[in-house]
Amino acid sequence: MATLSIHFDPAVIARLTSASGDDTIHVTLSLGGGSDTPEVTPVIPHGPLAALMQAGLLKPDTVLTFHQRRAGRSGRAVVTADGQLIVDGHSTPFPSPSKAAEAVTGNVINGWTLWHTPDGSTLDQLRQKLDAQ
């Protein structure tokens, strides 16, 4: 039996979760293979994370996390293809690591040193790596 996998960009999920009861959401699925298959336009990252993404140091769909033991807080965010962050519990993407961190902590905070990639690196460490190249 064939398996169907559907992947939605985190920005699409954010839009769907922010829709009001009066909004109509249309989703079109096609099997492709025909000559009517639309071309996919690549998304170009912009904003503070763009350079890291263009250098291949940060990829779309990367899950970023942080844990603040003393404050008893933790956060999770997903990098979108256009270089924004979708934070768990928030329907609107954030344009910068610090804005995303502030949304979770409630405080002005340096998101570059707070958010960690799956391998444990901070975004600031990735930025330093990029500067050294």
Q: How far apart, in whole angstroms, are the C-alpha atoms of residue 95 and residue 93?
A: 7
Q: How far apart, in whole angstroms, are the C-alpha atoms of residue 73 and residue 67?
A: 6
**DSSP letter string, 50-81:** HHHHHTTSS-TT-EEEEEETTTTEEEEEEE-T
pLDDT of res. 25: 62
Q: For residue 45, give the DSSP letter.
A: P
Question: Tens of pLDDT along 83-98?
Answer: 999 999 888 899 999 9
Selected residue with higher pLDDT from 10 and 115 = 115
Question: Tens of pLDDT along 33-69?
Answer: 655 556 667 788 999 999 999 999 999 999 999 999 9
Average pLDDT, the chain: 85
Give CA separation, 31 vs 4, 5, 27, 37, 81, in Å. 10, 12, 14, 9, 24
CA neighbours within 13 Å on the CB side: how many for 15? 11
